[in-house]
Structure 1
Amino acid sequence: MKNVTRRTVLSLSAAGAAAAFLSACGGPSTSGGGSSAAPTAASLEGVKPASEIQFWSNHPGQSSEIEKSIIAAFEKANPGIKVKLITAGKNYEEVYQKFNTAYASGNAGDVVVASDATWFKYFLNKQIIPLDDLFASQKFDVEDFRTALLEDYNYKGKHYGVPYSRSTPVFYYNKDHFKAAGLPDRAPKTWQELAEWAPKLKAASTKAQQVFTVPDAESYNAWTLQNVIWGYGGGFSKDGDFALTKSPETKEAVSFLQKAIHGDKWAAIGSGEPADLFTSGATSTVVASTGSLKGILSAATFNVGVGFLPGGPKETDKIVPTGGAGVAINAKASPERQLAAAMFIKFLTNAENAAAFSKATGYLPTRTSADMKDAIQATPQLKIAIDQLEKTRPQDDARVFLPGGDLELAKALQGMLTADSDPQPNLDALSTKLEGIYNKELKPRLG
């Protein structure tokens, strides 16, 4: 069986007792008995851009002000086009739900934020268009995008999104707490090292309630905890095999977290936004998005340290998941609105605005030519996030491509970490659940 990439989705072997994917270079087959062809971009020959479009966003990383600023600059450069910024939800999933509901009636936005875990759902629902023809007609400098970030939206050789608010998780630590505990001023190199440091942090007079906050199901735990699981050599899927979810390596990672919570008691599942618990001083360390960087630095009343994600006993290199969101175009938008949307996306994601957005939020600069000198000078911690791109790896297919896969993973992880019991039965059930989702919900839609 050939390796199946992040963009090579899910075609089960008819004889496979396990959920082994067949190779389908460039993406899954949609021929023969499958759903009808995906939408295509409208012909824009002779088309004039619409006078107004809507941009549906959740303002990732508290970005509403910089979004408004970029929109104002776009409208100044294009006086015949107005962009109405719509708050479509507090997170990526809420944006997806609102867009999905409004799409049927034709009232969804023209440009929509599409996250790592929602863009493929938009695609499956035939709600977004491939952008490559628009890249050509609008002369997008696509080669200037960071390749790994742009290719996250590549399906069967076509791109269905453009990188926008892209991120990785990073490790945040309270420098004052570390100093009080006599620890070095750096992030731990491995999770085992943090476990070794934990007694000193607990003994220090920091008033923190715990050393580390484990994200709950509503805080994208399936995203960030991939780091811990990968460090142990486990995962949610590998080369299309869901059996990795119930592997000894995955169990070992979950058991490590259980011991930290219930045995050694230096970690706890967060109730609420982990970054808020960290900035309040309730926890000494946290893993959160680079998109939270500016908000954390602004809210904290102590010295904040930022470092690479810790590794594990088996893997310390490629253990960082990419995440965040891109922007996509509504398939039901008229040709005039698609053209205006393409013009806006080109402006929104150009090198100058990519740098401005990164400086304002802490999200990664999506353009290689983005001038980050001023941003890094203003926020030196941002360089850590950029440098950590060398340690990234594609997310497990089970989270990104399975309809509802992220939710199932999140609920299962929270359930296992809340309980102080053998996680194996739950991991077995989760693996079976993921395979069932593929067979019942995804495979029929792919043909």
Structure 2
Amino acid sequence: MKNFISKVVTTMLIATMGVSLAGCSSSEPTTTSGADVSAEAASQETIKLEFWYSWTDQIQENNINLSNMFNETIGKEKGIEIVPVYQGSYDETHQKLQASYIAGQAPALSVMEIASTKLFAENGIIKSLDDYIDRDDLDVDDFYTGLTENCIVDGEYYGLPYLRSTPILYLNKTLLEQAGLDPVGPATWDEMAQYCEVIYNELGIVGLTNYSYDWVFEAFFFQEGTSVLNADETATNINTAEGKKIFSYFQDLIQNGYAKMYAGVDSSKVAVDVMNQNTAMWFSSTGDLTKYITLADESGFDITASYIPAGVTYGVPTGGCNIVMTTGLTPAEEEAAWEFMKWLTDTEQTVYASIYTGYVTTRQSAVETDEIQALFEELPEAKIALDQLEQYGHGRPMHSRYAEVKKEFVNAMDAVWVNNADVDTTLAETEAKVNAILAN
């Protein structure tokens, strides 16, 4: 698999560089929208823009590679230099972005976890893209519908889908086969409980490992035909029959020794259990696909993936990040930032990022390419993630205080699943706290 990724990425890099550089030598302008940027290039003044991103490993490499590819092609032609700067997790990136904006030192471009788009838009930190989209006739309909929901605030685009994902169920195929189970994995919650029990009895390890993860928590509610917040985001549904069913289901698995849950702050322990083959199943992002394939190869076992098992239905939130532009830029800086945003989210770069990282392919035109079709043939798990998105993907809550709400959800999961607190009491207390946050 690693050889396949390396081969395809290298081929695409050469092709992209060749096509773009050929365009640089043309006497015809490549677009009419970058006039201000071209003027800067003509005067030999390079516009340098910081691009803030989150996460390390393949995701970091992808961000650096794409920035360099742009700088050597479109950037060289138009006098733009993108400087990628790592800022930590999504939460850390958001905190630094807020602080830098207040200090008047914000980057021109940043990734943004999708649930935070509304907060930053309402506070005037990020810019509406509608004028640029309309002017350049950008085909936003080419993005999968489930991915654009969290780009739009009050009917306007404030971001473009970039590294996007859904949670999926990862499975250690080797362990499942040793336990005599179908490596395709469980299709329902009942089957998942059965898998966990068999794995525990046959192999002496837990069947499922997870941590208090608000994003996956949202999936559980979608699978019960509801959501963590009501439709107008004025109240939580956590203290309902569906919420109690979710908490009790996993608490029972944990108490029987069939599953293990870590606290939200201990998320890294899941990967350790995976590496040491102390668990057979775990939830994680499609964006971790390449990481877990590499880990499995190095540790000597095979993995696969499937939809998150269904409750009364299937359902998952979309996730990952959009790319956004900050406000307060000069007209020339805005044009330069827009050039990079368009290029970064266009079909070729979408293909590159999807293959390199494992994130879902965000554009329908990208899915139709030979490279992505070859990826699906080589790595069926990548198509599983896309199929799940197309059929069962939902946007995340966009309330401006959802970051605070998520912390209460994590606290509730920690209390019940890690510390064995009473379900009814915990959910009633969490409901009161969350509704108070939403009311303010």
TM-score, structure 2 normalization: 0.82
Aligned with 1:242: secondary structure? coil
Q: What CA distance in whole angstroms lies between the structure 2 residues aligned with 1:174 and 1:405?
A: 33
Confirm whether residue 355 of structure 1 aligns to residue 347 of structure 2: no
Pick which of 151-160 and 223-232 moved more: 223-232
- State the Cα distance separating 1:395 from its structure 2 match: 4.5
Match of 2:170 in 1: 172
Alignment of 1:22-33 (within 5 A): none
Match of 2:181 in 1: 183
Q: Is contact 2:34-2:336 (8 Å) kept?
A: no
Match of 2:237 in 1: 244
Q: What residue identity is the alignment partner of 1:373?
A: Q
Q: What residue identity is the alignment partner of 1:405?
A: V
Match of 2:397 in 1: 397
Alignment of 1:137-286 (within 5 A): 137-205=135-203, 208=205, 210-216=206-212, 221-240=213-232, 242=235, 244-262=237-255, 264-270=256-262, 271-273=266-268, 274-286=270-282
Q: Which segments of 5 or more consecutive residues in structure 1 lack a partner in the other structure?
A: 1-42, 441-447
Alignment of 1:79-94 (within 5 A): 79=76, 80-89=79-88, 91-94=89-92
Q: What CA distance in whole angstroms lies between the structure 1 residues aligned with 2:277 and 2:360?
A: 26
Q: Is contact 1:398-1:406 (8 Å) kept?
A: no
Q: Is contact 2:319-2:396 (8 Å) kept?
A: no
Match of 1:74 in 2: 70
Equivalent residue in structure 1 for 2:295, among 274, 299, 302: 299
Confirm whether residue 117 of structure 1 aligns to residue 110 of structure 2: no
Q: What CA distance in whole angstroms lies between the structure 1 residues aligned with 2:108 and 2:276?
A: 38
- State the Cα distance separating 1:439 from its structure 2 match: 2.0
Q: What CA distance in whole angstroms lies between the structure 2 residues aligned with 1:344 and 1:266?
A: 48
Q: What residue identity is the alignment partner of 1:306?
A: A
C-alpha offsets along residues 376-407 of structure 1, whole Å, 9 cap, x if unaligned?
Answer: 23433211111111332424637776352222
- State the Cα distance separating 1:159 from its structure 2 match: 0.6
Q: What CA distance in whole angstroms lies between the structure 2 residues aligned with 1:45 and 1:437?
A: 46
Q: What CA distance in whole angstroms lies between the structure 1 residues aligned with 2:101 and 2:410?
A: 27
- State the Cα distance separating 1:116 from its structure 2 match: 2.0
Pick which of 126-135 and 431-440 moved more: 431-440
Q: Is contact 2:119-2:399 (8 Å) kept?
A: no
> Are residues 288 and 403 of structure 1, via their aligned partners in 2, closer, same or farther at CA, if it must alter by over 3 Å?
closer
Q: Is contact 2:53-2:110 (8 Å) kept?
A: yes
Q: Is contact 1:235-1:396 (8 Å) kept?
A: no
Q: What CA distance in whole angstroms lies between the structure 1 residues aligned with 2:146 and 2:354?
A: 17
Q: What residue identity is the alignment partner of 1:272?
A: S
TM-score, structure 1 normalization: 0.81
Aligned with 1:292: secondary structure? helix
Match of 1:420 in 2: 420
Q: Is contact 2:127-2:158 (8 Å) kept?
A: yes
> Are residues 297 and 117 of structure 1, via their aligned partners in 2, closer, same or farther at CA, if it must alter by over 3 Å?
same
Instruction: Decide which structure has greater helix share.
Output: 2
> Are residues 60 and 379 of structure 1, via their aligned partners in 2, closer, same or farther at CA, if it must alter by over 3 Å?
farther
The CA RMSD over aligned residues, in Å, is 2.2
Q: Is contact 1:229-1:254 (8 Å) kept?
A: no
C-alpha offsets along residues 303-336 of structure 1, whole Å, 9 cap, x if unaligned?
Answer: 1011111011xx223x111111101001122222
- State the Cα distance separating 1:343 from its structure 2 match: 0.3
- State the Cα distance separating 1:248 from its structure 2 match: 1.6
Match of 1:331 in 2: 327
Q: Is contact 2:115-2:398 (8 Å) kept?
A: no
Number of residues paired by the alignment?
A: 387
C-alpha offsets along residues 225-265 of structure 1, whole Å, 9 cap, x if unaligned?
Answer: 22233333454222235252211221111011111112x11
Q: What CA distance in whole angstroms lies between the structure 2 residues aligned with 1:420 and 1:226?
A: 21
Match of 2:100 in 1: 102
Percent of pairs identical after alignment? 27
Q: Is contact 1:44-1:335 (8 Å) kept?
A: no
Q: What CA distance in whole angstroms lies between the structure 2 residues aligned with 1:377 and 1:61?
A: 24
Q: What residue identity is the alignment partner of 2:110?
A: V
Q: What CA distance in whole angstroms lies between the structure 1 residues aligned with 2:343 and 2:34?
A: 18
> Are residues 396 and 83 of structure 1, via their aligned partners in 2, closer, same or farther at CA, if it must alter by over 3 Å?
closer
Match of 1:310 in 2: 309
Q: Is contact 1:236-1:396 (8 Å) kept?
A: no
> Are residues 352 and 201 of structure 1, via their aligned partners in 2, closer, same or farther at CA, if it must alter by over 3 Å?
same
Q: What CA distance in whole angstroms lies between the structure 2 residues aligned with 1:286 and 1:116?
A: 23
> Are residues 386 and 398 of structure 1, via their aligned partners in 2, closer, same or farther at CA, if it must alter by over 3 Å?
closer
- State the Cα distance separating 1:61 from its structure 2 match: 6.6
